[in-house]
Structure 1
């Protein structure tokens, strides 16, 4: 047989080969048959369109003989009775008797539960809906799970599959009355309570029924009764409310998990605030329980924790995380405002919690070289990042839509950006949802002073960034802000966003919240981070704001001195030349004419060029012979100085010319010739008609002075 219900319930892609069934004309005592032979016999019965009455009588007689002593394989006996029921209604009372008298025995062998459930399923396929047998058999499907040992998500999925298969079969066969009877059994909550049905099983049955109804309406043109669908969805909503209350009170999580998995399998349903909340709880606490997992790893980093992490990732619910997230997004899109706010708040808080936990985990486990454990934690965290991004994208569509409409909440942009900063460390690939969400949020705040100020206020302070991490499991002496990768990623996010609205930032707020952090990370060993810090400085120096123009100009002057000092002292090294060059050019172009900051910048660059050229000459005396192709740091600084010849204002130019002349004069003859040659080319290509005559005259004088013998030097000051 190509399809065996027990294998489908078990999740097997194909059934194992079965031994040949015993001949029905002479069935041996069933107590002597092994489970494979019982399964083979059941398979033969299922695939046979009809059987002789004598064979059925013989089988029923053999089965009934097992009613007194406990049968050796009760689950397989259930499967056999279900198979017989496809041919004879006489099997119904025997099946009911088996579950009534030997339920404990069935439950004690959980690995054979698929066979037991398959027996119930085959029986329900034929039993008339108005028969008292129907209700009795259905009740076993939901009461068997009272034993907590077998109440699990995996078994809940079996109930889902069984009910989905049953209702689909009813629809395919046109048994509308049976479909109605099934729906009544799972939506009559009063009856479910009286019979003490397991809530998680009824919940999964509701989802299985919904899926079958949806497939049936499209595949078999089944006319779906709206009231029937609404009744099932209402029942799911009731269970969702119970799940939330139970979770908050006792931490009972099975029903929450079943709601998430069931809805992931059955697809979208009508909006219900309790369903939305239960999905949120399931995602943050059960699918991605990173807080508890990280705490466990910090308390005990042995193999048990690693095994726990791998088991979690191999779990059913974790593998369905993307689908569950999609269901939540669909629910969110049609939610009312209070429910949307619940989702948003939970996601933003979860992101911040993830940031705090992940910082500790990475610092501690890297310090202890627990790389494998850390790798598994990061895999789960990366999946959580995707969940946050997908939900945030849905939030941005609803709350940050540029078109005016109901539901727009601009303030959400700030919390969204803060949340993204918290999970920035986990961003490994470029995601369209991430890009779109950040773009919408940035566009919202870049024209709003209040929102941009709120975003800056959320930025960790200098003291927070450089202070010791509050983590008992980490040796304090090993902590350094530059090694805190999670924190660095968060700051990098801020550094990238700030330039988009820097002109709105009051200079006092920039000085208070941004400047110290910008200068701190300007000397971060990661070049990408250092460049971002330089970009923030460039954006502020280039910005203007009429409301505080004088105060802003004063701050620019102050920042110029400290920037040049901090950037130049760390070059070459942590200061990337591209960042240094962009910062210097921004200062020269935007500071007032004759600014002390520009003079100091010129002086510092020339001093750095002098020291670097001495080091380079000592290290490689023949460097000047290949000066044009050189990649030496001193070559880059000299090129920057030459570029400044056309950028500095006319008040600073004489000082710059004198300083550059002093630089040339201290070089060896080969160095002087190399620099003069480069300067000639630069001046010749200049199209600045105002400066060019001055530069030509200066260069001729410098060339003359350089040609004089050392015994007859001419003072540079004469230039």
Structure 2
């Protein structure tokens, strides 16, 4: 119909029979459509064909048409778009075809004057007809096995081969163009629809990946082709939003909820990101800047994150047939939380303490023991940013919360070290903790004590497994060496009021080690103290190391004297003597 109308109009224009063109346009006018009860999808295609012909003729034949002539087909397009949006709740074939025809016709006839109905219609067509990924995912989850799965796969392939899918990119361009001219109300409507689409896509994708990642990877591969187009559409539209709504000079000014809307939509499709597009980076940057400058936006962003209860519950759409749901196997959910944990440090200072305690901390501690290394590192980085944060208005409350969360942080991190916790993440968290908590904080003392206990446990395991541990200490990559080096590093970082407690714990740790281990650590500590420029701690450390070296040597002498004594009384006497000496130190 579009091609036929284009051919007719071009023929009449070239023959200079403009009256015939007017008659054609009158036949498809909104008034005629309404009075005659026309089926609108062929009418809208005819209007797009007429508009395409007039624009082509204006360029090729260099004709200047009466503006009213160009306005006539646009009125018909607007009329059809209005009907499509009004009847949007009717899930019938005629309505779907009308949505498709408006969207496809606009890709062929070129840019049309902005109208709210056209914008809404293009948005609906793009999300429901051209990129119906949530619907396809839902079908695949409802029928996961046998012939039903093959049927779902066939539907996916059929859509991939359709003109609807091929035109998703151009229609996205039309959506962005119409959006750029829209008023605040229309923009808000489209932004909300796209964000809701992203959230629906996330829920269905989460269920589909969990269900099919083991048995039906071929189905997921086919779905990924449509998912890539959906991801691109959301990213490009988000970038368009930033151009018009993330500027202080925009008509509505900076709007925190818009920034949050962008971040939520992008978090939902983070699993689909194969590479970082320029539009993606631009949208994230603008939204983050708004978050950094607006406390309400930061709070809204954290509140939009799934709660701990949601994260540990299986998707509503999924039936696991008695199999236990493991949150760490949920790749789509993990990608989304990783997105949150990467953005959160940029605005952590503005997030209210009660939201951090009730919403952020449980999620952070849940994922600090995640099996994915990237996620675990991000959780440690978020804890570091929190410990480093502070506000002038509620400094006391923030400090109290830091201390409260530090106990859980150290306990959970060391519980799964070295299996899950990356040492770099643990070290950065410990350093932030001793630097930013108040002097002689109970959390600092707990941290030191926990590190010493962990070091003892790891050294015991390592010495049983490797008898040459101390002889190859320099080249060793054992976790016990890393923890020991971290303890030595704290000597020059910890506050002066907690300094004596650290030295006491270190002395106990060193004297607990066998003679070979004592010598190795003492050598390391001598080297660190010799290289230090700390004029306050160095004299104390020199004296402390001399005393510790003396204790070590005396313990060695007693050990050799009692080497032939096997009874428990003698062994207890040696241990008691060493403990008394350490206490004096």
TM-score, normalization: structure 2? Answer: 0.89
Deviates more, 1:319-328 or 1:354-363: 354-363
How is 1:565-584 mapped onto 2 (pairs within 5 angstroms)? Answer: 565-584=411-430
Tell me: CA distance 1:335–1:407, structure 2 relative to 1, closer, same or farther (3 Å). farther
Deviation at 1:663, TM superposition (A): 2.5
Aligned to 2:171, the other structure's residue is in SS state helix
Deviation at 1:523, TM superposition (A): 0.5
Q: Residue 380 of structure 2 contacts residue 426 of structure 2 at CA under 8 Å; is this kept in 1?
A: yes
Q: How many residues are paired up?
A: 559
Query: Aligned equivalents of 1:166 and 1:670: distance in 2?
Result: 97
- Alignment partner for residue 347 of structure 1, among 166, 181, 194? 194
- Look up the match of 1:677: 523
Tell me: CA distance 1:406–1:639, structure 2 relative to 1, closer, same or farther (3 Å). same
- Alignment partner for residue 667 of structure 1, among 513, 522, 527? 513
Query: Aligned equivalents of 1:407 and 1:210: distance in 2?
Result: 37
Query: Aligned equivalents of 1:284 and 1:399: distance in 2?
Result: 22
Deviation at 1:702, TM superposition (A): 2.8
- Alignment partner for residue 655 of structure 1, among 501, 504, 522? 501
Deviation at 1:476, TM superposition (A): 4.5
- Look up the match of 2:107: 264
- Look up the match of 1:692: 538
- Look up the match of 2:71: 230
Tell me: CA distance 1:263–1:246, structure 2 relative to 1, closer, same or farther (3 Å). same
Query: Aligned equivalents of 1:297 and 1:366: distance in 2?
Result: 12
Aligned to 1:509, the other structure's residue is in SS state helix
- Look up the match of 1:323: 170
Cα-to-partner distance string for 1:97-150 (whole Å, 9 max, x where unaligned): xxxxxxxxxxxxxxxxxxxxxxxxxxxxxxxxxxxxxxxxxxxxxxxxxxxxxx
Deviation at 1:240, TM superposition (A): 1.1
Deviation at 1:570, TM superposition (A): 0.8
Aligned to 2:471, the other structure's residue is in SS state helix
Deviation at 1:217, TM superposition (A): 2.9
- Alignment partner for residue 463 of structure 1, among 301, 309, 315? 309
Tell me: CA distance 1:305–1:250, structure 2 relative to 1, closer, same or farther (3 Å). closer
Is 1:537 matched with 2:373? Answer: no
Aligned to 2:556, the other structure's residue is in SS state coil
- Look up the match of 2:353: 507
Aligned to 2:114, the other structure's residue is in SS state coil
Deviation at 1:582, TM superposition (A): 1.0
Query: Aligned equivalents of 2:472 and 2:59: distance in 1?
Result: 77
Deviation at 1:286, TM superposition (A): 0.6
Deviation at 1:630, TM superposition (A): 2.2
Cα-to-partner distance string for 1:336-379 (whole Å, 9 max, x where unaligned): 22211210111111111112211222222236x12111222233
Tell me: CA distance 1:329–1:176, structure 2 relative to 1, closer, same or farther (3 Å). farther
Tell me: CA distance 1:410–1:182, structure 2 relative to 1, closer, same or farther (3 Å). farther
Is 1:160 matched with 2:2? Answer: yes
Report which of the two structures shows the higher radius of gyration computed on alpha carbons.
1
Q: What stretches of structure 2 of length at least 5 have no aligned partner? A: 560-577
- Look up the match of 2:548: 702
How is 1:266-665 mapped onto 2 (pairs within 5 angstroms)? Answer: 266-301=109-144, 302-366=149-213, 369-403=215-249, 405-406=251-252, 408-471=254-317, 473-665=319-511
Query: Aligned equivalents of 2:487 and 2:458: distance in 1?
Result: 14
Query: Aligned equivalents of 1:440 and 1:538: distance in 2?
Result: 24
Deviation at 1:464, TM superposition (A): 1.8
Q: What stretches of structure 1 of length at least 5 have no aligned partner? A: 1-158
- Look up the match of 2:51: 210
Aligned to 2:225, the other structure's residue is in SS state helix
Cα-to-partner distance string for 1:301-322 (whole Å, 9 max, x where unaligned): 3212111101101111111111
Deviates more, 1:422-431 or 1:239-248: 239-248
Tell me: CA distance 1:384–1:663, structure 2 relative to 1, closer, same or farther (3 Å). same
Tell me: CA distance 1:407–1:174, structure 2 relative to 1, closer, same or farther (3 Å). farther
Tell me: CA distance 1:209–1:505, structure 2 relative to 1, closer, same or farther (3 Å). same
Query: Aligned equivalents of 2:126 and 2:469: distance in 1?
Result: 62
Aligned to 1:544, the other structure's residue is in SS state coil
Q: Residue 107 of structure 2 contacts residue 171 of structure 2 at CA under 8 Å; is this kept in 1?
A: yes
Tell me: CA distance 1:679–1:166, structure 2 relative to 1, closer, same or farther (3 Å). farther
What's the RMSD between the two structures over aligned residues? 2.4
Query: Aligned equivalents of 2:375 and 2:385: distance in 1?
Result: 15
Q: Which has the higher contact order (CA 8 A, sep 6+)?
A: 2
Deviation at 1:585, TM superposition (A): 0.6
Deviation at 1:584, TM superposition (A): 0.5
Q: Residue 433 of structure 2 contacts residue 444 of structure 2 at CA under 8 Å; is this kept in 1?
A: yes
Query: Aligned equivalents of 1:631 and 1:310: distance in 2?
Result: 51
Deviation at 1:405, TM superposition (A): 3.6
Tell me: CA distance 1:617–1:253, structure 2 relative to 1, closer, same or farther (3 Å). same
Q: Residue 398 of structure 1 contacts residue 407 of structure 1 at CA under 8 Å; is this kept in 2?
A: no
Query: Aligned equivalents of 1:451 and 1:304: distance in 2?
Result: 44
Query: Aligned equivalents of 1:276 and 1:404: distance in 2?
Result: 20
Deviation at 1:245, TM superposition (A): 3.3
Deviation at 1:190, TM superposition (A): 4.9
Q: Residue 141 of structure 2 contacts residue 318 of structure 2 at CA under 8 Å; is this kept in 1?
A: no
Deviation at 1:178, TM superposition (A): 7.5
Q: Residue 186 of structure 1 contacts residue 205 of structure 1 at CA under 8 Å; is this kept in 2?
A: no
Q: Residue 440 of structure 2 contacts residue 498 of structure 2 at CA under 8 Å; is this kept in 1?
A: yes
- Alignment partner for residue 242 of structure 1, among 83, 108, 124? 83
Tell me: CA distance 1:625–1:403, structure 2 relative to 1, closer, same or farther (3 Å). farther
Tell me: CA distance 1:167–1:485, structure 2 relative to 1, closer, same or farther (3 Å). same
Query: Aligned equivalents of 1:529 and 1:590: distance in 2?
Result: 24
Aligned to 1:249, the other structure's residue is in SS state coil
Aligned to 1:467, the other structure's residue is in SS state coil
Query: Aligned equivalents of 1:668 and 1:330: distance in 2?
Result: 74
Cα-to-partner distance string for 1:266-313 (whole Å, 9 max, x where unaligned): 221100111111111111111121232122212223212111101101
Cα-to-partner distance string for 1:123-180 (whole Å, 9 max, x where unaligned): xxxxxxxxxxxxxxxxxxxxxxxxxxxxxxxxxxxx3344445545666x46463873
